[in-house]
Structure 1
């Protein structure tokens, strides 16, 4: 694959040292991932690693039937297969496509060979794993201490960071899974944010009208993980 670093839409690939990128770049394959495409299944071996270039993937934990909740979001800034970076070969949670995505995929044996060959690739990717962990801890804190509308505001801003434009295609039912709440609670939270002029809610779509206002609605739950990502990965920007 004849690509220069600057052409990659994946921020994580752009951040790699040139020597590390050269190790994996020949093995990357372009792919288009449809809505709900499974990328990892809890307890199962990880056979591929994806570097998203657009769209969104959700990391979802399951407690019981109909007890799913999102614990992480992956977009152009990240990758799947983080367990491989930490020395495991199995996924802890399910991961699937939440919004149709372009991605670069590498088979696990080739990815592991690159990790073994380079002295710098794994330490660098561990920084991303740490950033994803910080995101997850803030999600846990927000879910435990924040009102539903504050949790929804944070989720919408996080999604808005990772998509082009201000339109987020999502249903009330799927939002309920992402936030770990009942569907009526999502409907009320959407009405609250819409009543404050922050969003416009349509069937299967949310339009962000006031990003700054949404961040204020988050009551401090948004921003710190994003700042830590920039610090850990050495990037200046965050939004797509």
Structure 2
């Protein structure tokens, strides 16, 4: 049911039904690349479960994650802004399922229906806000606080308290080496916020984790809530 995706659920019923006829359901296994930099995107994806990681890659191959997308949004948002290419690499970080639509079909649909375009532009703004807060967090927050933020953001986008996050993905998320990830996990675990297993993080005290993250978390969540008039995740 495509209403599992909150962006699609925000559309008027007739718009959603029309769009549904153009979409196909897909599994989204971890590691699946959805788009690559400077490559024309064939499909746009709307997750119903799982997490898409948006990664910026330098010409030398250095990379860091700048945003995560779950059932609240879609990727790539470049199509909303009239571009056929996404400057970032997008890859499934936590497996799930969703729906995909050919980029040209979605572009035509957005162009022909102003109410749909308005909602999609709201999503593009919400995601841009998340990217901006990620840049701020990389600049002013400690690795421990940044890890707490990313764990909270991933927790917002899954059911339950178990997160399948590998050290490799965490190092990309934080733009640090794996030993720094291990140290940060030990700090959060030592404070009783999480329990860390191999490839899995279990949330033990969400409220305490939010308090520890302080102002690194919540800014883009409030912007999403404002734009979509819904409680923040």
Number of the residue aligned with 1:165 = 160
1:10 alignment partner in structure 2: 5
Please give the TM-score of this superposition, normalised by the length of structure 2: 0.96
Contact 1:15 1:235 in 2 (8 A): no
Give me the TM-score of the superposition, normalised by structure 1: 0.93
In the aligned structure 2, how far is the partner of 1:40 from the partner of 1:162?
21
In the aligned structure 1, how far is the partner of 2:62 from the partner of 2:104? 33
Counterparts of 1:177 and 1:67, CA distance in 2: 9
| Counterpart position of 1:86 | 81
What is the root-mean-square deviation of aligned Cα atoms in Å?
Answer: 1.3
Structure 2 gap segments, 5+ residues each: none
Asked whether the equivalents of residues 24 and 110 of structure 1 are also in contact (C-alpha less than 8 Å), the reply is no
Distance 1:48 1:234 in 2: 28
Answer whether contact 1:138 1:225 (CA < 8 A) is retained: yes
Q: State yes or no: 1:124 paired with 2:119.
A: yes
Whether 2:49 is the aligned partner of 1:54: answer yes
Matches within 5 A, 1:1-240: 8-65=3-60, 67-236=62-231, 238=233
SS at match of 2:34: strand
* CA shift digits 1:120-144 (9 cap, x unpaired): 1112100000000111111110011
Q: How many residues align?
A: 233
CA distance in 2, matches of 1:198, 1:142: 20
